[in-house]
Structure 1
Amino acid sequence: MTLTHQLVADEITLAYGDRLVVDELALEVAPGRITAIVGANGCGKSTLLRALARLLSPKSGQVVLDGVELNSRPTKEVARLIGLLPQSPIAPEGIVVADLVGRGRHPHQGLFARWSRADDEAVAAALDATGIADLADRSVDELSGGQRQRVWIAMALAQQTDILLLDEPTTFLDVAHQIEVLDLLADLNRARGTTIVMVLHDLNLASRYADEIVAVCRGRVHALGEPGVVVTAELVSEVFGLDSEVIADPLTGKPLVLPRGRHHVS
C-alpha cells in the first residue's frame, strides 16, 4: 500500500496567453481513490490535469502537494510522486517498446546510477499488466493506435508513482481494451493505494470506475462527489447540453446515462 499524498488546486486560474481556460478553480484530489474528471470539450479538463502535473503554471493560485507548492519542489522529486499520461504523446522515432516503457524508470535513477534489477522488474511487470510483453522488441512506429496507447500506459505504470494522472487513457482503444485498461487502473488502486485522476469522455465508464466524479463546466468545478450523487439527468443537461435519462446500471448499480437524441424521444 502506498503512502497517501494530498494534491490540491487552490483557487487556480489557468490560461494560454490571453485565453482564459480555468477560472479560480478549487479541487482537493481524494487520496488513495479514483477520480474522474468529466465535462464538455473545451471546458478545461486537460488544462487542469496539466496544472496538477506541473506542466502549466497557474496565472494565479497554486497547486499544492503535501502542503508545499508544487512549483517549488525539485523536478525529479515530483516525477517520483506524480506520473502523467498526456493526450497524444509522441515517441522518439525508431524506439522499441521496452526502451520507451523503460523511460518511466528515469526518475528513480541517480546521476550515476546504473540500470538495476528493480528497473527490469518494474518494466516487465508494466508490460505484462498492459498485455504487451510480446511487443517488447517491436518498434513503436509499427504499432496500431491502440497498441501505442497501451505502451504509454505501461510507461506510466513503470514509473511506479503514488499519484497517476491520465488524460483520456482509453483513446484509440476498442471497447474490450477500454475495459481492460480501466480494470488495470482499478487493480492498481486497490493493490497499491495509488491515487488515480483521469479525464474521461465516457460518462458511463467514469461512473462505473470512479470513486469520485469532478464535473467541470466553463473552467470551474460544477459538481463533485460520488457518481450516484453527481451523475443526474439535470447535470448532464447543464454540463453537456444533452437531454438524457439516467438509470441504475443493472451490473453495478452506478448511474447509466441514456442519451435521448432527436430520433429517440419517447
Structure 2
Amino acid sequence: MTTERTLTAENVTLGYGDRTIVESLDLALPPGRVTTIVGANACGKSTLLKAMARLLSPSGGQVLLDGKAIHRMPTKQVARVLGLLPQSPIAPDGIAVSDLVSRGRHPHQGALSRWTSADDAAVARALEATDTAHLADRHVDELSGGQRQRVWIAMALAQETDVLLLDEPTTFLDISHQIDVLDLLTDLNRRRGTTVAMVLHDLNLAARYADHLVAMEGGRVVAAGDPAEVLTEEIVREVFGLDSRVVPDPLTGRPMVIPIGRHHTLIEPEPAQG
C-alpha cells in the first residue's frame, strides 16, 4: 500500500448529451487523506466522482491518476489502484453475499491466475470489517437496504485499492451504522494509507470525518481545504441557500452546522438586570 497515489481533475468539463453539469473544474485529492465532497442536489458531485473513476469521459480537460490520463489507461490497471462504490449499485439476481464480495478480487486475477488463499483472506477481512460475515450465504436481494449497503462496501474493501471513491456510502443506513461505516473508512485510511474520497449529504458528518472538505455549487468548486475554513455560514448560504449558525462540535471542535429555518429563530440573550 502506498499513500503517494495522486488523483487529479484538471480543467474538466462534464455532462450528458448537450447538458453540461461541470465546467472547467480543477480538483486534487490529497494522497493518503480522507476527502468529503458536499453540495446541493444536482451540483455535479456524483458526475465528478464518475469522471474521476473513469466511468464518464470529460468533454474537456482530463483526469490524471499518478500523472497519467486515466481514460487512456487499461481498465484492469485502473481497477487495481482505484475502487468505486456508486450511488445505486445493482446486484445480479440471486447472487449470494460471499459471491458479490468476491467480485472485488477480479482486478487481481490475471488471464491464467487462479483464486488463492490471499483472495479468501481479503474477502474474509472485508466481510468482518463491515459486520456482514453472518450474511455470507444469504442472497443479496433478501437483505434490507442497510445490509445491502454494507455488503457493497465490503466488495469495495475486498478490492484492496490504494484509492477508494464512494458516492453517498451512508445511504439507507441508520445513524449507528452511518457512524460504523465512516469509522471503518477512517480506520482503512489510517491503517493502510488508503486515499478516500466520498460524497456525503450530512454536513456535520462530512466535517467530522474529513481531512479535506470540498464544497460544490453549480458544477464548480466553491471552496476546498480544512473543514474549519470551508464550512462557514457564508459558504453554507452560498452552496445550499440556507441560513445557519456554525459552531464548534462539542466532541471534536470541528465546525457543526445548525440550520435556522423559517419556524425557528435565534434566541436572543435576556438583558442583564440592573
**Category of TM-score, reference length = shorter chain:** over 0.9
Return the TM-score normalized by structure 2: 0.96
Residue in 2 that maps onto 1:5:
5
CA distance in 1, matches of 2:243, 2:216: 18
CA RMSD across the alignment = 0.6
Q: Secondary structure at the match of 2:261?
A: coil
Q: Secondary structure at the match of 1:141?
A: helix
1:128 to 2:112 alignment = no
Residue in 2 that maps onto 1:228:
228
Residue in 1 that maps onto 2:110:
110
CA distance in 2, matches of 1:124, 1:35: 27
Runs of 4+ in 1 over 6 A off after TM superposition: none
In the alignment, structure 1 segments of 5+ residues that lack a partner are: none
Q: Secondary structure at the match of 1:114?
A: coil
Deviation, 1:114, is: 1.0
Residue in 1 that maps onto 2:154:
154
CA distance in 2, matches of 1:214, 1:92: 34
Q: Secondary structure at the match of 1:64?
A: strand
Contact in 1 for aligned 2:37/2:215 (Cα 8 Å):
yes
Residue in 2 that maps onto 1:195:
195
| Structural mapping, 1:1-266, within 5 Å | 1-266=1-266
Deviation, 1:67, is: 1.2
What is the CA deviation profile of residues 168-218 of structure 1, one whole-angstrom value per residue up to 9, with x for unaligned ones? Answer: 000000000000000000000000000000000000000000001111111
What is the CA deviation profile of residues 208-264 of structure 1, one whole-angstrom value per residue up to 9, with x for unaligned ones? Answer: 000011111110110000101100111100000000000000000000000001111
CA distance in 1, matches of 2:112, 2:169: 33
CA distance in 2, matches of 1:165, 1:65: 13
Q: Secondary structure at the match of 2:61?
A: strand
CA distance in 2, matches of 1:163, 1:4: 10
Q: Secondary structure at the match of 2:14?
A: strand
> Measured at CA, do residues 231 and 3 of structure 1 come closer, stay the same or move farther in structure 2, by a change above 3 Å?
closer
Contact in 1 for aligned 2:3/2:31 (Cα 8 Å):
no
CA distance in 2, matches of 1:214, 1:167: 14
Q: AA paired with 1:163?
A: V
Deviation, 1:2, is: 2.5
Deviation, 1:71, is: 1.0
Count of aligned pairs: 266
Contact in 1 for aligned 2:37/2:199 (Cα 8 Å):
yes
Contact in 1 for aligned 2:11/2:24 (Cα 8 Å):
yes
Return the TM-score normalized by structure 1: 0.99
Q: Which of 159-168 and 67-76 deviates more?
A: 67-76
Deviation, 1:33, is: 0.2
